[in-house]
Amino acid sequence: MLGFPALHVKLFCRVFNPKERTRNSPFSMAPQMFLLLMLLFLCDTPAILTTPNVQTSSTSSDSTECVQKRGKCPPGCFLKNKNSCGPCTPNKTYTEYLNTLSECLMCPICDSVNRKTLQRICRTFRKTRCTCQAGWFCSKDNIDLCEQCEQHTACPLGEGVKEKGTSLKDTTCEICPENYFSDVISANDTCQPHKRKSPTTNNAFVQ
C-alpha cells in the first residue's frame, strides 16, 4: 500500500475541517482544487512499496548462473529436472563442463596417506587438483588425473641420476661412464668422477 506521510494526512484533514476554512486561510480554496494540488504533491513523494525478491534462476556459490543452454547445464550446475538446473554444493561437489548430469560430482580428496597434497581447491565449476609429495610422482602423466602417487626410483650401484624426478615423472638413471662411479643407491646423486693421488704432491685429484 501507499504510505502517506503524517504531514499529508494532517493537511487533508484540515482542508475539510470547516473551522480551518476561513477567508484568509490557504485552506479556504475549493476542496476540489486543494485535493488536486495534494495529488500533484503526492506524485513527487516516493511510494512505500514492498517488492518481493524474485529469483529467476538458480545461482551456484561461485556466481554461476544455472540456466539451461540447449538442454544442458553450465559448469557448476546439474540438471535438476527437465526444464531447470541446480547449483553444486560449494567445497563438496562440482561439474566442469556443459552437462546433463542428474547430480554434481564429488570433489576429490588429496589424502596425505596416499602421499598426495593439495595444489588447487575444489570449486563448484572445477575439481580439486592434487599433486604428490616431495620424492613421489603421479603414476599417470596428467596433473588432473593424479589418482596414485609412486615413489621416485632410486638408481642402483653403478648408476647415477641423469634427470631428477618431478611430481609428474620418475627419476631417469644412467650407467656411469668410464672414469665415473656411483657407490650409493639414490634418487638424487649423480655419477662421481674417480679420484687419483698426484705422484708429486700425494694429494687426490680428479682425473
Residue-wise pLDDT tens digits, 149-169: 999 999 999 999 999 999 989
State pTM to two decimals: 0.55
For residues 183-206, give the mean pLDDT: 77
Domain that holds residue 124: 58-151
48 in any annotated domain: no
pLDDT at 188 over 90: yes
pLDDT digits (tens, 9 = 90+) for 85-117: 999 999 999 999 999 999 999 999 998 888 999
d(CA 79, CA 99): 8
Q: Find the range with the poorest average confidence among 50-64, 118-132, 172-186.
A: 50-64
The CA-based dihedral angle spanning residues 41, 43, 44, 47, taken in that order and rounded to the nearest 10 degrees: 120
49 in any annotated domain: no
Residues 78 and 138 grouped into a single domain = yes
pLDDT at 83 over 50: yes
* Whole-Å CA distances, 67 to 90, 91, 129: 18, 21, 27
Residues 128 and 197 grouped into a single domain = no
* Whole-Å CA distances, 35 to 26, 46, 181: 13, 18, 108
Q: Of all residues in the chain, what percent carry a pLDDT higher than 70?
A: 61
Residue with cell string 648408476: 159
Q: In 10 A of CB 81, how many CB atoms?
A: 8
51 in any annotated domain: no
1 in any annotated domain: no
Chain centroid to CA 132: 22
Is the separation of the CB atoms in 172 and 163 below 8 Å? yes
Position 163 scores a pLDDT of 97
Position 24 scores a pLDDT of 52
Position 146 scores a pLDDT of 83
What is the number of domains present in the chain? 3
Residues forming a β-bridge with 192: 181
Residues 81 and 112 grouped into a single domain = yes
d(CA 147, CA 142): 9
d(CA 179, CA 7): 105
Residues 6+ apart with CB under 8 A from 85: 57, 58, 66, 67, 68, 73, 74, 77, 78, 79
Position 22 scores a pLDDT of 53
Q: In 10 A of CB 64, how many CB atoms?
A: 21
The CA-based dihedral angle spanning residues 65, 66, 67, 73, taken in that order and rounded to the nearest 10 degrees: 130
* Domain-ending residue, one of 129, 151, 173: 151
pLDDT digits (tens, 9 = 90+) for 21-54: 555 555 555 555 656 566 555 545 443 333 333 3
